[in-house]
């Protein structure tokens, strides 16, 4: 299994209403300091309807980028129950999924 598929498969564990960070997802697939690699993989996600890359955010609680625009990512996260204020997830720590 290549790295992209490993990452997408691991991301499927993150349920609706929760998020993970680029760094935590990297660690979950065995990458040390792999945040940027995860970001690139998320940007190329060929299955955005199936693989919820919108649930990957920055470790600061900021939502980060999204291939279809930050406004789309914000809307998708809001629809899943996330409260976002000034581009950051409210109660960030409580919403984090633990692998």
Backbone angles phi, psi at 41, to 5 degrees: -65, -40
Q: Looking at the 3D structure of the chain, how many domains does it have?
A: 1
Indicate if the pLDDT at residue 48 is higher than 90.
no
DSSP annotation of 53 reads G
Segment 81-98 mean pLDDT: 96
Looking at residue 18, its pLDDT comes to 97
Indicate if the pLDDT at residue 36 is higher than 90.
yes
Name the residue among 17, 12, 19, 10 with its Cα closest to residue 93. 19
Confidence bin at 51 (pLDDT 50/70/90) = very high
Q: Which CATH number goes with the domain that contains 28?
A: 1.10.10.10
Indicate if the pLDDT at residue 64 is higher than 90.
yes
Residue located via tokens 């950051």 = 88
Domain holding 38, by residue range, is 3-95
Give catalytic residue positions: 53
């Amino acid at each position: 299994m290549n790295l992209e598929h490993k990452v997408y498969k691991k991301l499927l564990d993150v349920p609706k209403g929760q998020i993970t960070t680029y760094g935590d997802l990297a660690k979950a697939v065995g990458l040390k300091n792999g945040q940027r690699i995860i970001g690139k993989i998320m940007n190329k996600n060929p299955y955005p309807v199936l693989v919820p890359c919108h649930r990957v955010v920055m470790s600061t609680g900021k939502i980060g980028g999204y291939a279809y625009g930050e406004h789309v990512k914000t809307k998708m996260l809001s629809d899943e129950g996330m409260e976002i204020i000034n581009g950051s997830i409210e109660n960030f720590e409580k919403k984090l999924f633990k692998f």
